[in-house]
Amino acid sequence: MRTLPRYALAGLILTCASEVLMLLEVEPFWTWHTSIAWTGYVLFVDGVVWMRRGHSWVRDSPRELAFLAILSIPLWLVFEFYNLFIRNWHYIHLPEQPALRALGFAWSFATIWPAILITGEMIGSLRIPSSASPLIAETQPEALGLERGNDDASKIRSVSDGSAWEWGPTRILMMVLGAAFLIWPFIQPSAYLAAPVWLGFVLLVDPINARWGEASLLVDVCRGRHDRAINLALSGLLCGVLWEFWNYWARAKWIYTVPIMEEVRIFEMPLAGYLGFPAFALECFTMYVFVRRLLWNGAKRTIAL
């Protein structure tokens, strides 16, 4: 059995130390706790994946991890833009200096997608231990242990290379519905439109990923596989609880104005708001796969399996 790598142990110590020092109101941990805690958490969870499987983002895909972290910033800014219309959260006690404030935002946003996707992989390693190569192409039947001549392999290859994904009525309807969800807040701004925003990109983008032969929740369903969706949903819920737990006592933090069951809260988040975290994790996956197809030329790591 592999032992936890040193960088993961350092990450765990960093997160725990930041929690204690934040509660003692020691700077910079009191103000920067979210960024510091999530950095340590990502290192720790990645180490757990390596310990269980012998491969991880940090060890085997560091360039893509850096790409993921940088891309996480503009991807989250998409939701900050939507928040101008749905107004579900705002920030308080941010650093007064613009440069420090921008650094804090960038650091915090850069941890979002790595936290979601690496946690999904950790959950997968706990549910279904595996030592398969992280760089194996998900679109290949061999990744599922199927022979090239196998009928199932032929069906999967047909789906994976896009040849079976015609723009049928169901997939077109999904994309139209997703586009409508994403346009709706601009036409009729409302604090009640969080759900369409958290689901819109999944409905709009995932069929495109499937058509391109990229990793896709639709392809998973066609294959009769649900592991990725389960791993991501559990990841979203776990990360959501941690986000709210670490945010609650921090000085620089976000405050919610979700109008549904607003008086029933766990930490800062109204109880109903936790339903959005699993959907957000699915959205993180579909958005990253879509942009990775457009911008990334290197080997592609399997996500949340």
Question: In the chain, what are the domain boundaries?
Answer: 6-295
- Sequence-distant (6+) residues with CB within 8 A of 281 are 116, 120, 232, 233, 235, 236, 237, 239
Inform me whether the pLDDT recorded for 271 exceeds 90. Answer: no
Q: Yes or no: say if 108 and 128 are a contact pair by the CB < 8 Å rule.
A: no
Question: pLDDT digit string (tens) for 9-34?
Answer: 999 999 999 999 999 999 999 999 99
Mean pLDDT of 248-252: 90
- pLDDT category at 140 given cuts 50, 70, 90 is very low
The verdict on pTM exceeding 0.75 is: yes
Here the contacts of 292-298 (C-beta below 8 Å, separation 24 or greater) are: 292/67, 292/71, 292/214, 293/209, 293/212, 293/214, 295/67, 295/71, 296/64, 296/67, 298/63, 298/64
Task: Tell me what the pLDDT averaged over the chain comes to.
Answer: 86
